[in-house]
Structure 1
Amino acid sequence: MRTNQLGVLFSRCSKIVVTGIIALICIPAFATTFTNNTTIGVGNTNYDGADVVVTNCTLTVDGPHTFSSLLVAGGGVLTHSFSPNGSVSNLLNVANENQVLSGTNLVTLLNSNVIATTVSVTDFSGTNFYTNGLDYLLTSPDGIVTQLQLTTNSAIADGSTILVSYETLLGTVSAGLNLSVSNSVQVDVGGVINANGAGYGGGMGPGSGRNSGSPPYDGSGGGYGGMGGTSTSNAPTGITYGSFTQPASLGSGGGSSYTGIGGSGGGMIEINAGGAVIVNGSISANGGNGTNNRCGGGSGGGIWITGQTFSRGGRDCSKWRRGESPYGGGGGGGRISIQYNSTTFTGSITAMAARVR
């Protein structure tokens, strides 16, 4: 693998740098504590405004959300979903919508763009479940509205009220972890905020790697904060992009080869805290290695953290990942911006690109 060019490595915009002691966060007794793997989707506002604790499980959060405080305890992982094209669906969960089915009359669900596979129909008590095609017919004449109709021999009594639950697609938003936290954020030892490989998929993104050469052709590395590395056939490298001080972009994927796509880019972590930010664990948005023969590695992603104070003994990193050796190009470094009013600073912050091979 050829050398790649090292781009922007690290952005820190501080006003005052001081040495001091930051008190530990006191999580209220009424905090919402996650101990089982859970996903908070874009449209799920059930936990907005809550004090959130993540311990011994993975909490996946997609789209913008607002917490009161955040603690990622030992064994806890906070991340966002991977989407190759860089966007995630904004789904609205509708529970127990009342509808009356009578004769052969069609009834229309209250929301458009219903995902048919998510529709569930029960009686008014919610205990008896009915079957599409047997008890009712589910149709969408224009692909936008969804309608229900009784079948001839339905178990649903004519003229009765049923409950319909479903998911509807409201659109898409950019992938990434985007949190506004009113008070403090703490990542304990053994706790992780991790968006490794959660950026653009192989060959995708504004800094995506390319490929060149006659079969078997190979791929260059993805770029973001730094340019991607060239492949042995000198495939054009992934370019740099995004903001130095506000790195709210996903990392780009590596170039494909004749055997498959390149490594995915690192994800995006944006946390805006109104109080202290204490990191004794790790925060990372590393790119993915190129695993297919001759493909390129993904670039590092973006980490953007703001808070009143910043105390740390852990590690922040947004690194490249290597291309498939010895032909694929390595990914470029990501971007990191930490912004605060005061800090007690130890540990390490790294946004590096591929080494020479």
Structure 2
Amino acid sequence: MSTIHPRRRRAFALVGAFAAATLVLGACTNGSDDGDTSSAIGKSNTDNDKSGKKVVIGFSAPAADHGWMGSITKSAVAQAKKYDDIELKVAEGTNDVNLQISQVETFINDKVDAIVLLPFDGAAMTAVARKAMDAGIVVINVDREFDSPFAARTTVLGDNYGMGVSAGTYVCDQAKGDKNKVVAEIAGIDSLPLTQDRSKGFADALKKCGLKVNNRVAAEFTVESGEKAASNLLQAAPKIDYLWNHDDDQGVGVLAAIKNANRDEFVMIGGAGSANVMRDIKADNTVLKATVIYPSTQAADGIKLARLLVQGKSMSDLAEIEVPREVKLSAPVVTKDNVDTYLPSAFES
């Protein structure tokens, strides 16, 4: 899961997280019959998809050191291949900020038409992104925000606070008014704003139905840390009714710890929406009954938006004649009832 998010704007009310409609950008509209992750990256079947002016797009993202990040790049590449008028230049994934700055500098020197950038560190990448914008290059900022609004034409974001709200709302719905339910939480890295946002959303949603987090530990978005954190939590909490784990990659370790502890008295909710978690939900043979989506299609949406902007087009499903400055994707809950809808676009942990 994404690991460094600078300041997030929480300019929407709690109720908005329950009711906000998702902007459908076409990246998840069409399924396919070949079953791989990229198959869910489709076209919207509008005039926007007709071949037009050639668009050269530079793409840079952090190293694919976990499933979610790997899917970010894979989905972006798959999206670009859907269009014969896109030439995509993909920089090697890196967690070295200086190297990523150099990659963007190369795109600027190459005079690409647009840059889709998921920065390793949004603050550190702000200056070079603004340099690209000043050079007349359309910049699409993905997932980790820059420090300046002048550094990107459009920003595509997941909803970390909304993830917490969705998870907490699911728990409240399942609890059916019983205020004695014991709720546990396995967070990601506590020092990160994204983790803080998720935990705040979770606590705020639980508060609405009279519940709170009774036991909480933090992990590090890895399988190993998930197993260790879960083991500690299970030892400290002899009874749990609901457990929310922030990240499905670390959730592999969490489930291993649960199995080793021979615990099955609670319902577990995941986070991010990995394919292996969705398969477990569909099989309905573990404590894992739901997961909250954090879309790994954000960069694919960035590719589509970059193409529209360079070609002077707008989003066909909006009355607005300009592509929005910001698109925040929703954080739906996936259960056995709707898993088939989301499984085609899920990433592998």
- TM-score where L is the length of structure 2: 0.28
Structure showing the higher helix proportion among its residues: 2
- TM-score where L is the length of structure 1: 0.28
Structure showing the higher strand proportion among its residues: 1
Larger Rg: 1
